[in-house]
Amino acid sequence: MKRILMATAAAVAAIGCMAGASAKEMKMGLITPPPHIWTKEAQAFGDELKAATDGRHSVVVYPSRQLGNEAEVLQQMQSGAVDLSFMTVAEVSNRVPEFSALFTPFLVKDNAEAVKLLKTSPTAKELLELLPGKVGVVGIGYGMAGLRQIVSAVPIKSAADLKGRKIRVTPFPATRDLNTILGLAPTPMPLPDVYDALANGQVDAIEMDLELTVKLKYWELAKTVLISNQMMFPMVGIVSGRTWRDLSAEDRAIVTELMRKHLDVVLDKTEEIERTFLPEIKAKDSLQVLEVGQDFYGDAVAEWEKIWLPQAPAIPALRKEAAAL
Ligand code: BEZ
């Protein structure tokens, strides 16, 4: 009897050991290039995960769409071929339209408010709970790129000047609709194609944040930068449901804590936008910088909400939370 009990105890210990100790080299797919803050923090997260798990878990970061575009990465996460991503909510909203509430135009007034909302909003947190059921991934938390502006190669003085213009947008329906309502011709295009498209006149303008407008030199091709802060551009840190299932409770807690830490670094870094990049853009002699508010867009926001409220019912709750910041 004693021998049986000892053997059982040893087997239980071995299984426990295996669950906690099963080593995994995780793949993390990103569309951003190596110098981008999302990529840097993904790498820092991976390094810390390896240290915190004594090397049991490590992360290989694949930047610049090396594992495919975001739709392809998401597909691979469903099968477990890719484990992790920092992914635009734009792509997630293509699969789960409820996330489009985060693209409600003029939800926040500046990047600081966007950060506060994404860190504290119970409604944004509830949206993450849709992910396992709808796309087979676990949502850990939010990051973001800066608020969206319009960078135009043709001079813009009024909303009428936007009419009929071709504008590059990230491919997701919430922004397509806002631009269509404004009378623009939205042209969906991934980030790496943007510079050439603006340079060769394939588009007249681009929807972009100020950080990349400076860092990727889009401003050099522009006549007008319309500072509208028209929309947030959140990102979400996600783990494949299959990978999650195979992690011990202890390792899930470590992944969650470290990923949240680095998503917060991404969020906190956006304070640089108003401190550094906005003044830099305003100082360019070749640029006309137009700071506009929601009134510049007339009824467009109300029309957008009419389309999106049925598909993204969290809009009113997010507006209420944003107003109370
Ligand atoms: C974009 O499509 O504009 C974009 C994608 C990822 C990070 C920042 C911007």
Q: Is the pLDDT of residue 22 over 80?
A: no
Cα(170) to centroid of ligand 1, in Å?
7
**Distance of alpha carbon 278 from alpha carbon 188, whole angstroms:** 25
Report how far ligand 1's centroid is from the alpha carbon of 277 (Å).
Answer: 16
Q: Please determine, for residue 319, whether its predicted confidence score (pLDDT) is greater than 90.
A: yes
Residues 70 and 31: beta-carbon distance below 8 Å: yes
Q: What's the confidence (pLDDT) of residue 9?
A: 40
Distance 150 CA to ligand 1 centre (A): 13
**Which is the closest atom of ligand 1 to the Cα of 145?**
8
Token pair for residue 154? 């043709």
Higher local confidence (pLDDT), 22 or 31: 31
State mean pLDDT over 41-50. Answer: 98
* pLDDT at residue 50 in the model: 97
pLDDT digits (tens, 9 = 90+) for 124-142: 999 999 999 999 999 999 9
* pLDDT tens-place string over residues 255-302: 999 999 999 999 999 988 989 999 999 999 999 999 999 999 999 999
- Identify which of 21, 64, 298 has the alpha carbon closest to the alpha carbon of residue 181: 298
> With 80 as the cut, is the pLDDT of residue 2 above it?
no
Q: What is the 31 CA–ligand 1 centroid distance (Å)?
A: 8
Hey, what are 268's tokens?
A: 């906190």
- Confidence at residue 209, expressed as pLDDT on a 0 to 100 scale: 96
Q: Which pLDDT value is given to residue 4?
A: 40
Residue whose C-alpha is closest to residue 68's, from 59, 60, 77: 77
Q: Residue 273 to residues 12, 51, 148, 229, 276: CA-CA distances in angstroms? A: 53, 32, 12, 12, 5
Q: Residue 124: beta bridge partners?
A: none
- Does the pLDDT of residue 28 top 70, yes or no? yes
Ligand 1: residues with CB < 6 A are 31-32, 88, 145, 170, 191, 208, 212
Residue 278 CA, ligand 1 centroid: distance in Å: 18
Q: Residue 31 CA: which ligand 1 atom is closest? A: 6
Provide the 8-state DSSP code for 160. G
Separation of 249 CA from ligand 1 center, angstroms? Answer: 33
In this predicted structure, the answer to whether residue 164 has a pLDDT above a threshold of 70 is: yes
The per-residue pLDDT for range 50-108, each reduced to its tens digit, is: 999 999 999 999 999 999 999 999 999 999 999 999 999 999 999 999 999 999 999 99
Residue 3 pLDDT grade (very low, low, confident, very high; cuts 50, 70, 90): very low
Cross-sheet strand order for the sheet of 185-188: 185-188, 166-169, 205-208, 149-152, 224-227, 288-291
Instruction: Assess whether pLDDT exceeds 70 at residue 12.
Output: no
- Number of the ligand 1 atom closest to the C-alpha atom of 207: 3
| SS3 assignment, position 222 | coil
- Report yes or no: 163 and 183 within 8 Å, Cβ to Cβ: yes
**Which of ligand 1's atoms lies nearest the C-alpha of 191?**
2
For residue 209, how far is its CA from the centre of ligand 1 (angstroms)?
A: 8
The two beta strands, 166-169 and 57-62, are: unpaired
Nearest residue by C-alpha to atom 4 in ligand 1: 191
- Cα–Cα distance, 55 to 298 (Å, whole number): 56
Over range 183-193, report the average pLDDT.
95
- Nearest protein Cα to ligand 1, atom 5: 191
Residue of 87, 170, 230 best suited for mutating to test ligand 1, as the one with most atoms within 8 Å of CB:
170
Going from the Cα of 191 to the center of ligand 1, the distance in angstroms, rounded, reads: 6
Structure tokens belonging to residue 256: 């969650």
Please provide the distance, in angstroms rounded to a whole number, between the alpha carbons at the two ends of the chain: 65
Distance CA 85, CA 30 (A): 6
